[in-house]
Structure 1
Amino acid sequence: MNIKQIKALLFILLPLLGYSQSNPLELWYTKPAAQWEETLPLGNGRLGLMPDGGIATEKLVLNEITLWSGSPQDANNYKAYSFLPQIRELLLANKNKEAQKLIDENFICKGAGSGSGNGADVPFGAYQVLGDMTLNFDYKTKSKAQNYTRNLDLQTAVAATQFTIDGVTYKREYFTGFGDDASFIRLTSSKKGKLNFTVQLRRPERFKTENGTDNSLVMTGQLNNGTDGKGMKYEVKVKAQTTDGNAVYANSAIEIKNATEVVLLISAGTDYKDKNFESSVDKILEAAMQKKYQDQKKKHIENYQKLFNRVTLNLGKPAQKTLPTNERLDAFIKQSDSDTALPVLFYQYGRYLSISSTRLGLLPPNLQGLWAKDVQTPWNSDYHLDVNVQMNHWALETANLSELILPLKDLTKAIVPNGEKTAKAYYNADGWVAHVITNVWGFTEPGESASWGITKSGSGWLCNNLWSHYLYTNDQAYLAEIYPVLKGAAQFYKSMLVKDPETGWLVTSPSVSPENSFLLPNGDASHVCMGPTIDNQIIRELFNNVIIASKKLGLDNDLSAELEKQLKLLPPPGVVSPDGRIMEWLKDYKEEDPQHRHISHLYGLYPGSLITPENKPELVDAIKKTLEVRGDDGTSWSIAYKMLFWARLKDGNRAYKLFKTILRQTHDTNINYGPGGGVYANLLSAGPPFQIDGNFGATAGIGEMLIQSHAGFIELLPAMPDAWLKEGEVKGLKAEGNFTINMKWKNGKVIQYEILSPSSEKVKIKVNGELKEITSSKL
């Protein structure tokens, strides 16, 4: 038996024995996807593609990042501010329930708002699936497929499916191009002329499919704008290239007959900021068809790897046996320490999803990234501003993907003009504000219910993400660009703060601690309050950042002086209640749900840096008790947030426990607000349902376990769990100050490290418990 024959035999036997013949950074399966939660997500920041690897029929879910229903609207209630004095008087009189009623009647958005999360057919709109492409195969036999495998290679952003029928090996390869911006599917058979299939396009509603005059399959439509039905327009176009056989374009389909190799090219676009989108779709396809498939694939991999290859991570040698990913998840929960490669895979998967779901000049990832499957997506798959869209970006800086936060910067700048109207309409205040939700149409108004809709930390929280990018890059031109956004947000809070007569502190009123409620002394539940802790923390942080920025840019000395005066009157970052926990509200209210998914009052610990074990050691025990009472379970994003809190507290084993909880496999797709979060078989985060923030939050959590730089120094391995202490290596992580970190460790000790920067600089680092100052090496 020669080498070639041995390799062929191993290819057949290894999957049967439970071994993967692939690289470590791969999702690998031995069955087609039975439902969407098992498909493989591909994306290039604009186009999304999710193949299920079906044998007789393959369904590929298509997405385009800009496809939203709804339309621009002005839902501001311009008489709302006239009710503000009465609302504040009720709150001062401890009549929170009455204040909440008055807000519901006079201080929310006009119209339907978000449609209570079902806004596809109202002006708010929803991010929607583009459609489905279905391939129906005729193998001219009733024999079953054997030796089935499918995989997603994170190293190349290429997916593949392979199986054998009657001695013929069929292969499919898929990627969304980082070259010509089209999606590609290459199908081959090992014997000549064995490919026979049809290609069809459809979506649940509002579509027309036909054959184009240019030998193509075209799907077009127009979404509902929530008023006259004439919303965003879209187009999807598919063409086929064959080396032999025939491609027949007829009956609103493409029929492939007796081919050996076929390449399907997909282009799509919308009229969101592109009135000539049909022409753009054609140009992309024309350019792609002029190049060989292998050249397209090579260019795609090169462009993708410019980002992905910046970071490598190794947590030690795992056991040799590698199960299919769905089985591997279950095995990890039972005995995680033996599979040190799965945390690496999940971390790099988070980086892969970030690269795949956004890029410069486009939109930031929404609640489902780039991979919706519905017309009415959960919570409209919008941009939730009370943790979710921020969490989508937390991992980026440390993970050396800094520029991917810039689409969020652009979205934030775009909502400022409407935010200025909202600030005047509701608070008669300067500057701009955004509340809980926004969309591609610039919604900044309060939501349609006082219980959650008047949270006003959204704009300040967005500023935290924007400021973080500056801290990591030291980019002065960027600071000048975002300064008006930060300044406007600070001006809003400065002009609407009121004095709490009991404490003398300046606080927001009215407000809500995101989505959470409390019990009044008479037992009534309320959400509306004065000065929730998250508001106080965000305002303190924002004021400090604006003061720093104004000094660096030589601007607004008078404003800085006013902010410095107000800083002295803000509540402290954390107030400890009589029972030893951090207070969530200005008063020591009893929680209606002690294990609520939101933990907003610990914002100052993460993503903020107002509270650290170094600068506020007196608060550490109170934070731990707060987290203990909250519990470890929850939605996937909530578990990830708790993982980040424990990492900031330098408790690696507790952070790792939460990471294991995130990796429990679930099949539940029903909307859930309580415990039970995890991941699906394709590693996408299950809220449930699918929310991509859990992926990104856990990715950020792993980064925080490896390196922290928010406390005035760079700390290596600040929160390492016992499971990862034996040995490991990471290259390419970033720290505040534009430092790049490489390090190796063994038996819990860093044995080698490099601190690199564009120019040699003095920097404080903490290594193996020792704080010292070194000079960085020049990149």
Structure 2
Amino acid sequence: MRYTLLLIFLLLAVRPLAAQTDSRHRFHFTEPACVWEEQLPLGNGRIGLMSDGRPTDETITLNEISMWSGSPQETANPVARESLPEIRRLLFAGEYRKAEQLVYQTFVCGGAGSNHGQGANAPYGAYQLFGRLHLKHRGISPEVTDYVRSLDIDSATAETRFRSGGVLYTRRYYTSFADDVAVVELTASRNGTLSFDMEWSRPENARYYADSIAGVVIEGALPDGQGGAGVRYRGEARIFLPDGGSVTCRDAAVELRGATRAYIIIALATSFGGNDEQETVRHLMHDAVTHRPLAELWRAHTTAFDKQFGQSATIRLGTHPNEQLPIPERLRLFHQNGDDFALPALYYKYGLYLLASSTRVGGLPPNLQGLWAHQTQTPWNGDYHLNINLQMNYWPAESGNLSHLHTTLADWTLAQVESGRRTARDFYGADGWVTHILGNVWQFTAPGEHPSWGATNTSAAWLCQHLYRHYLYSQDTTYLRSVYPAMREAARFFADVLVTDPRSSWLVTAPTTSPENAYISPSGDVVHVAAGSTMDNQIIRELFDNTLSTARTLSVTDALLGTLAVKRHLLMPTTIAADGRIMEWLEPYEEVEPHHRHVSHLYALYPGNQISTEHTPDLATAARKTLEVRGDDGTSWSMAWKICFWARLGDGDRAWSLLSRLLRPATVRGMSYEGYGSGTLPNLFSAHPPFQIDGNLGGAAGIMEMLVQSEAGHVELLPALPSDWSASGSVSHAKVVGNALISFTWKEGRITDFTLRASAPYRHKLLARRGLDSLNFHVMGTGSANREGDYWVFDLHFGDVIRAIDSSRIP
């Protein structure tokens, strides 16, 4: 028996419990896309591609992550700083309406700000469509058969296949992770039957021409919002024919005739950051077509993509016959029956795919739409909303084993610090740095143009949570040292601006809001602006704690640290009102919208961890009641947040109910969102509405949160397992705090096997429940495994592996 056990453990040590790829990570349509939200998204973190897949008149929409109009702008407003003492006096005197009116008049950015979400031609700018490539196919009847459009997540490849006139046409699309170009491969099953015309279009600020060398070209400059030209851009699409055919140029189009196979190589670039867009395109195109044979482009792409994505976390929840159905029908039947558990497993992997496709190391973060846009004026400017939306985009990164992508948020955050220092000085007369709700690529850190949402000033502190969170999962002290100054300076700002509320003696932020809700003041006024909010207290307390912890880890000594330690204890604690709910403000005011989509005052439950069922059971009970009153409806990102809340509370069935709501089918016709509006669009994009990627990424984080949690000081498996999922399932390559990967399977709600692979020295505590109390753990390496009360404790070193298997599985 000893030899049998040894053999089993040796075999398992070299082979993960769950397969690294899953053929079910794909979905398809059986007709062309009627609207953009039915198209299949591809991206390599910089360039994006979506095709409508029409057999005859095909449109390919292309994006580039830095395609931003606008420019840096002067946002200082001297009146704001001058009015600050009076605003605070009015708030502390209970004259809330007067205080808000003064804030509205004075405490706003200089200039137009985001231009109320219409910033494409303002200095603030907007993320924009790059351009559209049109393929007018010749010799294909509009009446086709055997039509399929599909997306394979594991290879980041889309495909369109159909028959017309006895010919099988196949089109394969990908945005190469190896060569940084977009590629469309077209083939026909009969020689010489592939013919099309190709040209660019864009609604504005573009010119096009055809060139015998460059193919079809699009170029132009976006408005800087101040009367001049801003970011320049250039795109080239060239046709390569390995098996014959002819190409001619005519005006702004290229005509292909009589081919059997064709490659369209598309290179895009902008001048953002001082880049030479023309030279970049030239080099990209040259390298793509000379470094390897054209037939090897796709293999190089899939190999490079697998290196980044192949070890990302995977969830399996069984199989279902509906996996073979077109995705719109599958969504409809899921909403009707709710028994296709493989769909949420696909949705999870799709969320990780969207993150890996819309950002990359050294690039920009995913914006409100990731990197996909089909407009020049994207909704809300396609910018970075910092009162939850940008941060939510990164919630699945660490646990999903895509930690390297988290650094793009760190880089963007560090780039805001200098502007944030000016804003702190100009608006508050304070040291340190601050940013508010709006963010773009031009380092906009000032309050927004409307204080009901623009006055919240804890966004930098929230961003710093992500700086620290990446360290928790990576244990990289070199990285931590690089971000500590930004954390310290954000904490320094609040050490300067916190003031004492004379009514309660607590330190508070003033003015502020509870995004984006309003309250009814004692005089009956509807007011947004307040002195202090529960979310502010929770975020600032967390910032001070994380800054102090970082200083200890790095052996930093600093007089500011003592100030932070003192002021941290003077912040108002999270408080339970007489009705049993968490108070949203410093006083138990009645909220104007009891079912508001934001639940900001539960930040400490998620993504923070100051509220837990284990350590603060009274607050956890109050959080539960808060959620009950808030209700389950909301926009898609709001439902995603609530999934995370209920998972942290250990209520898997309620989290599953919210996830089912998130997966409700939403459809688009023109500009009208039908069905349930908020929910899931036919291509699995999340509908706010309109499409916002945070619902996808927050939903993915919530699904993993139901199965693995590790941020409360220990690891817990299946902490919020829904009853419907209890029969069987598996998780592979989930990352936990301490830089370790966990894989496990379960049957009838009990863990049957388990692996932990350490990538850093760390002491892991694993809660011994769900069958883990009866497993025998074995260490392969120099570490140790011991039982301490309710926990298994693993003291591990780099490369150590912990394995456990249910002995009942051994023959």
TM-score, with normalisation over the residues of structure 2? Answer: 0.91
**Cα offsets for 1:257-311 (capped at 9, x unmatched):** 1111110000000000143221110110011112323311111111111222213
Please list, as runs of the form range in 1=range in 2, the aligned pairs for 1:246-395 lying within 5 A after superposition.
Answer: 246-290=246-290, 291-310=292-311, 311-319=313-321, 322-337=324-339, 339-395=340-396
Distance across 2 between alignment mates of 1:76 and 1:761? 46
Shift in Å, 1:455: 0.5
Cα shift at 1:142: 4.3
Cα distance, 1:334 vs structure 2: 1.4
Which residue does the alignment assign to 2:13? none
Counterpart Cα distance in 1 of 2:399 and 2:206 = 42
Partner of 2:716: 715
Question: In structure 2, the residue corresponding to 1:629 is in which secondary structure?
Answer: helix
Find out whether 1:136 has 2:136 as its counterpart. Answer: yes
Structure 2: state its 5+ residue gaps: 1-21, 774-789, 802-811
What are the within-5 Å matches in structure 2 for residues 100-115 of structure 1? 100-115=100-115
Question: Cα–Cα, structure 1 residues 349 and 155, in superposed 2: closer, same or farther, change >3 Å?
Answer: same
Give 2:507's aligned residue. 506
1:229 positional shift: 3.1
- Identify the residue that residue 65 of structure 1 maps to in structure 2: 65
Is the CA contact 1:506–1:571 (under 8 Å) kept in the aligned structure 2? yes
Aligned to 1:528: 529
Corresponding position of 1:635: 635
Change (3 A) 1:760 1:96: closer
- Hey, what's the Cα distance between the residues in 2 that align with 1:402 and 1:324? 32
Q: Letter of the aligned partner of 1:192 in structure 2?
A: N
Task: Write out per-residue CA displacement over residues 656-709 of structure 1, whole angstroms, 9 at most, x where no aligned residue.
Answer: 11111111111247599x984111100011000010000000000011011001
Give 1:761 shift: 4.7
What are structure 1's unaligned runs of at least 5 residues? 1-21
CA distance in 2, matches of 1:285, 1:591: 57
Q: Is the 8 A contact 1:184 1:264 kept in 2?
A: yes
SS at 1:256 equivalent: strand
Partners of 1:143 and 1:428 in 2: how far apart?
A: 66
- Counterpart of 1:173 in structure 2 is 172
Q: How does 1:232-251 map to 2 (within 5 A)?
A: 232-242=231-241, 243-251=243-251
Secondary structure of the residue aligned to 2:230 is coil
Name the aligned partner's letter for residue 75 of structure 1: T
How far is 1:319 from its partner?
3.4
Q: Secondary structure at the match of 2:273?
A: coil
Which whole-Å CA distance do the structure 1 matches of 2:649 and 2:323 have between them? 35
Q: Is the 8 A contact 2:323 2:342 kept in 1?
A: no
1:434 paired to 2:435:
yes
Q: Is the 8 A contact 1:248 1:256 kept in 2?
A: yes
**Equivalent residue runs for 1:450-469 within 5 Å:** 450-469=451-470
Matched to 1:407, the amino acid is T
1:729-763 Cα deviation digits (max 9, x unpaired): 11110001112101010000011111220256542
Q: TM-score, normalised by structure 1?
A: 0.95
2:584 counterpart of 1:584: yes
Residue 205 (1) aligns with residue 177 (2): no
Say whether the 8 Å CA contact 1:415–1:442 is kept in structure 2.
yes
Counterpart of 1:233, as a letter, is: R
Q: Alignment identity in percent? A: 44
Q: Measure, in 1, the Cα distance between the counterparts of 2:320 and 2:88.
A: 59
Alpha carbons 1:512, 1:528 under 8 Å: kept: yes
Q: Using the alignment, how far apart are the partners of 1:759 and 1:61 within structure 2? A: 43
Deviation string 1:423-461 (CA, Å, 9 cap, x unpaired) is 011111110000001100000000001111110111111
Q: Quick one: distance in 2 between partners of 1:34 and 1:405?
A: 35
1:317 Cα deviation after fit: 3.1
Q: CA deviation at 1:557?
A: 3.2
Partner of 2:807: none
**Deviation readout 1:93-120 (Å, 9 max, x if unpaired):** 1111111111121110011100111111
What whole-Å deviation, never above 9, does each CA across 1:142-184 have from its counterpart, x for those lacking one? 4720010010000100110000011100000000000110000
Is the contact made by 2:44 and 2:359 (CA closer than 8 Å) also made in structure 1?
yes
Determine the structure 1 residue equivalent to 2:791.
772
| Paired AA for residue 189 in structure 1 | A
Shift of residue 320, structure 1, vs aligned partner: 6.6
**Within-5 A mapping of 1:18-33:** 23-33=23-33
Deviations 1:112-148 (A, max 9, x none): 1001111111100000011111111111x64720010
- Other structure's SS at 1:254 match: strand
Q: Is the 2:235–2:267 contact (alpha carbons within 8 Å) kept by the matching residues of 1?
A: yes
Going from structure 1 to structure 2, the CA distance change for 1:469 and 1:759 (only over 3 Å counts) comes to: closer
Change (3 A) 1:433 1:762: closer
The question of whether the paired residues in 2 share the 8 Å contact of 1:81 and 1:427 is answered with yes
AA paired with 2:165?
Answer: D
Contact 1:750/1:767 (CA < 8 Å) preserved in 2?
no
Match of 1:402 in 2: 403
1:560 Cα offset (Å): 1.4
Q: What CA distance in whole angstroms lies between the structure 2 residues aligned with 1:171 and 1:94?
A: 69
The alpha-carbon distance between structure 1 residues 759 and 491, as it changes in their structure 2 partners (threshold 3 A), is closer
- In the alignment, the residues of structure 1 paired with residue 244 and residue 501 of structure 2 have an alpha-carbon distance, to the nearest angstrom, of 79
Partner residue of 2:155? Answer: 156
For 1:63, give the aligned amino acid: N
User: C-alpha distance in 1, partners of 2:78/2:177?
Assistant: 45
Inter-partner Cα distance in structure 2 for 1:206 and 1:76: 30
Deviation at 1:465, TM superposition (A): 1.1
> Residue type matched to 2:333 in 1?
A
SS of residue matched to 1:170: strand
Quickly say closer, same or farther: Cα 1:565–1:143, change in 2 above 3 A: closer
Counterpart-to-counterpart distance in 2, 1:620 and 1:129? 44
Change (3 A) 1:618 1:671: farther
Partner of 1:744: 745
- When residues 429 and 215 of structure 1 are mapped into structure 2, their CA distance, relative to the original with a 3 A threshold, is closer
Q: Answer whether contact 2:606 2:645 (CA < 8 A) is retained.
A: yes
Equivalent in the alignment of 2:618? 618
Q: Distance in 2 between matches of 1:543 and 1:671?
A: 45
Aligned counterparts of 2:142 and 2:350: Cα–Cα separation in 1:
36
Does 2:566 correspond to 1:547? no
| Inter-partner Cα distance in structure 1 for 2:320 and 2:141 | 41
Contact 1:710 1:736 in 2 (8 A): yes
Q: CA RMSD in A?
A: 1.6
Deviations 1:370-412 (A, max 9, x none): 1011111000010000000000000000000001011111111
Give the counterpart letter for 1:104 in structure 2.
Y
Paired with 1:36 and 1:205, the residues of 2 have a C-alpha distance of: 19
The Cα of 1:767 is off from its aligned counterpart by: 3.5
What amino acid is the match of 1:438?
Answer: G
The residue correspondences of 1:595-614 to structure 2 (distance < 5 A) are: 595-614=595-614
CA distance in 2, matches of 1:617, 1:670: 46
**Aligned partner letter, 1:604:** A
**Which secondary structure does the structure 1 equivalent of 2:155 belong to?**
coil
Change over 3 Å in CA distance of 1:85–1:199 after alignment to 2: same
Structure 1 residue matching 2:349: 3-state secondary structure: helix
Give distance in 2, aligned partners of 1:644 and 1:661. Answer: 14
* Conserved? CA contact 2:535–2:600, under 8 Å: yes
- Alpha-carbon spacing, 1:272–1:498, altered in 2? closer, same or farther (3 Å): same
Check whether the contact 1:316–1:726 (CA below 8 A) recurs between aligned residues: no
Contact 2:73 2:123 in 1 (8 A): yes
Aligned to 2:666, the other structure's residue is in SS state coil
Report the secondary structure of 1:226's partner residue: coil
Amino acid at match of 2:324: T
SS of 1:443's equivalent? Answer: coil
The number of residue pairs the alignment matches comes to 755
